């Protein structure tokens, strides 16, 4: 008989789809808890990538031969699958990029260059990834605009009452993450969008940590832009998505120039292609886009509600277990969290913890997680971060907890 978890998922069977999990690291079975950095790829994604190169590889859109047609069809099929996955109104509102970082840079650079003026304000949050801070600082400097910050409390929740004071007629863009990679906090997107709407500001949501855990409906959220990465949702690395409302994308100038993004080029001047191609200069990452469709299928097949139920079970068990350990302090205690567990251990540097855990086969991330201002807020240099995906198990959390206890006792001797 197959054993189903409380979530209704058969995790043992799911694990069989992930060849990488079946290995020893430093002589111990691998426990992979670095999923917020990138999660592992099911066999169907790996095979789709290889199969594309084995049978269909050709450049897309301009070819009239059979392989070019096949390749183009598979590429555009993923665009349609992404549209459906986030409930965008049209496939043309889906732009393929290199990752969340490039998606945000595209908006900051293209939208910002066209619509920001001196004295305008961009509002971000205190828990942003550097990818959702630096592009705004860059464009703000260019335009003599200002970046302001929504504060958070000790639990890691945005202080909404303060947001009301910060959103003014000067605010032109509100950019924040759907879920935090360092704390796990799930932010109240709709509430913040509603506040932005009152002053006519646009909203960009960094969904890098949300799309593999939460239902995302960009129309329901009323996001103007939604950025995310394939590699954090069981898909290939180096591929990102930018959703943008048609009305905005059409008004924005191209981000990069080159092939594909043009209608006609003469030495006197160039006319630009329609969306989404206007923003996809050059040969895109065709094979990865094709393979990404299989990652979306994987998530859809399991169901986000079941994935979330399983991950929440792991998160709450792991949190309870590590809080029992002397000296461990959980960083990020928001009411609503994705499966990210950040913590520090009194008197032991996070790098030392990470190194000793690795010696026991347990992969966790250590450091500032590209959120240095957030670390400054907590007056720490970094944390140890364990993050869970659908293939992780309660048994693995027991191994992780034991490894943590052993590591701490080694340092306390
Ligand atoms: N935002 C958040 C919240 C993230 O977690 C990450 C990845 N750690 C990024 C942005 C950047 O994503 P990428 O490196 O795929 O561009």
**140-199 residue pLDDT tens:** 999 999 999 999 999 999 999 999 999 999 999 999 999 999 999 999 999 999 999 999
* Residue 410 to residues 272, 351, 404, Cα–Cα distance (Å): 63, 15, 10
Domain-embedded: residue 40: no
Query: What gap in Å lies between CA 356 and CA 340, rounded to an integer?
Result: 20
Identify whether residues 229 and 151 lie together within a single domain: yes
Whole-number pLDDT of residue 63: 82
CA 96 – ligand 1 centroid, Å: 15
Domain-embedded: residue 3: no
| Domain CATH number, residue 385 | 3.90.1150.10
Identify whether residues 142 and 166 lie together within a single domain: yes
CA 226 – ligand 1 centroid, Å: 13
Domain-embedded: residue 150: yes
Structure tokens belonging to residue 154: 């000790």
Identify whether residues 350 and 218 lie together within a single domain: no
Query: What gap in Å lies between CA 150 and CA 388, rounded to an integer?
Result: 28
CA 349 – ligand 1 centroid, Å: 24
Whole-number pLDDT of residue 86: 98
Domain-embedded: residue 4: no
Count Cα atoms within 13 angstroms, Cβ side, for 2.
10
Whole-number pLDDT of residue 3: 60
CA 100 – ligand 1 centroid, Å: 6
Domain-embedded: residue 41: no
Phi-psi category of 110—alpha, beta or left, where left has phi over 0 and alpha has psi -120 to 50? alpha
Q: Is the CB of 39 within 6 Å of ligand 1?
A: no
Q: Choose one of 300, 320, 341: the last residue of a domain.
A: 300
205 Cβ neighbours under 8 A, 6+ residues apart: 175, 176, 177, 178, 189, 221, 223, 225, 226, 227
Identify whether residues 285 and 313 lie together within a single domain: no
Q: Determine the residue of 208, 237, 337, 368 to mutate for testing ligand 1's pocket, defined as the one with the most ligand atoms within 8 A of the Cβ atom.
A: 208
The domain of 142 spans 46-300
- Residues in the chain, pLDDT under 70: 1-4
Identify whether residues 273 and 173 lie together within a single domain: yes
Structure tokens belonging to residue 155: 């639990």
Q: Choose one of 300, 318, 344: the last residue of a domain.
A: 300
Q: Is the CB of 206 within 6 Å of ligand 1?
A: yes
Q: Is the CB of 208 within 6 Å of ligand 1?
A: yes
Is 379 catalytic? The answer is no
Identify whether residues 336 and 402 lie together within a single domain: yes
278, 254 Cβ separation under 8 angstroms: yes
Total number of domains in the chain: 2
Domain-embedded: residue 5: no
Domain-embedded: residue 266: yes
Structure tokens belonging to residue 264: 């006609």
Identify whether residues 115 and 248 lie together within a single domain: yes
Identify whether residues 314 and 270 lie together within a single domain: no
Identify whether residues 67 and 186 lie together within a single domain: yes
Identify whether residues 204 and 84 lie together within a single domain: yes
Phi-psi category of 125—alpha, beta or left, where left has phi over 0 and alpha has psi -120 to 50? beta
Atom of ligand 1 nearest to the CA of 101: 16
Identify whether residues 107 and 194 lie together within a single domain: yes
Whole-number pLDDT of residue 413: 72
370, 383 Cβ separation under 8 angstroms: no
**Spatial CA neighbour of 204 closest among 253, 171, 231:** 171
Active-site residue identified among 25, 370, 375, 380: 370
Identify whether residues 251 and 380 lie together within a single domain: no
Q: Choose one of 282, 300, 318: the last residue of a domain.
A: 300
Domain-embedded: residue 53: yes
Structure tokens belonging to residue 17: 């789809």
| Domain CATH number, residue 276 | 3.40.640.10
275, 249 Cβ separation under 8 angstroms: yes
């Amino acid at each position: 008989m197959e054993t189903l978890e409380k979530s209704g998922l058969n995790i043992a069977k799911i694990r069989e789809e992930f060849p990488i999990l079946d290995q020893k690291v430093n002589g111990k079975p691998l426990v992979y808890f670095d999923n917020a950095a990138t999660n592992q790829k099911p066999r169907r994604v790996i095979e789709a990538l290889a199969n594309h190169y084995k049978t269909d590889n050709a450049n897309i859109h301009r070819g009239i031969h059979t392989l070019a047609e096949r390749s183009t069809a598979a590429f555009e099929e993923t665009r349609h699958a992404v549209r459906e996955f986030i409930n965008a109104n049209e496939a043309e509102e889906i732009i393929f990029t290199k990752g969340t970082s490039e998606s945000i840079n595209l908006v900051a650079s293209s939208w910002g260059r066209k619509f920001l003026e001196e004295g305008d304000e961009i509002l971000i949050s205190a828990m942003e990834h550097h990818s959702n801070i630096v592009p705004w600082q860059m464009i703000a400097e260019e335009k003599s605009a200002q970046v302001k910050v929504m504060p958070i409390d000790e639990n890691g929740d945005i202080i909404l009452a303060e947001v009301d004071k910060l959103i003014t007629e000067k605010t032109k863009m509100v950019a924040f993450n759907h879920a935090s990679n360092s704390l796990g906090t799930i932010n109240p997107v709709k509430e913040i969008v509603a506040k932005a709407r009152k002053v006519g500001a646009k909203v960009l949501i960094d969904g890098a940590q949300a799309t593999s855990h939460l239902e995302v409906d960009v129309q329901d959220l009323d996001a103007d832009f939604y950025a995310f990465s394939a590699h954090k949702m069981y898909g290939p690395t180096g591929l990102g998505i930018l959703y943008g409302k048609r009305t905005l994308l059409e008004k924005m100038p191209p981000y990069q120039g080159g092939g594909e993004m043009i209608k006609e080029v003469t030495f006197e001047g160039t006319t630009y292609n329609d969306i989404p191609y206007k923003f996809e200069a050059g040969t895109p990452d065709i094979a990865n886009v094709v393979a990404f469709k299989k990652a979306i299928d994987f998530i859809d097949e399991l169901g986000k509600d079941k994935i979330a139920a399983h991950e929440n079970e792991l998160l709450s068990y792991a949190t309870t277990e590590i809080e029992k350990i002397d000296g461990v302090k959980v960083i990020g205690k928001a009411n609503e969290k994705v499966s990210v567990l950040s913590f520090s251990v009194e008197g032991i540097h996070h790098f030392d913890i990470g190194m000793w855990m690795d010696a026991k086969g347990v992969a966790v991330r250590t450091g500032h997680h590209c959120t240095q201002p957030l670390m400054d807020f907590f007056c720490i240099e970094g944390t140890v971060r364990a993050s869970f995906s659908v293939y992780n198990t309660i048994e693995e959390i027991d191994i992780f907890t034991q490894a943590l206890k052993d590591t701490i006792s080694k340092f306390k001797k």
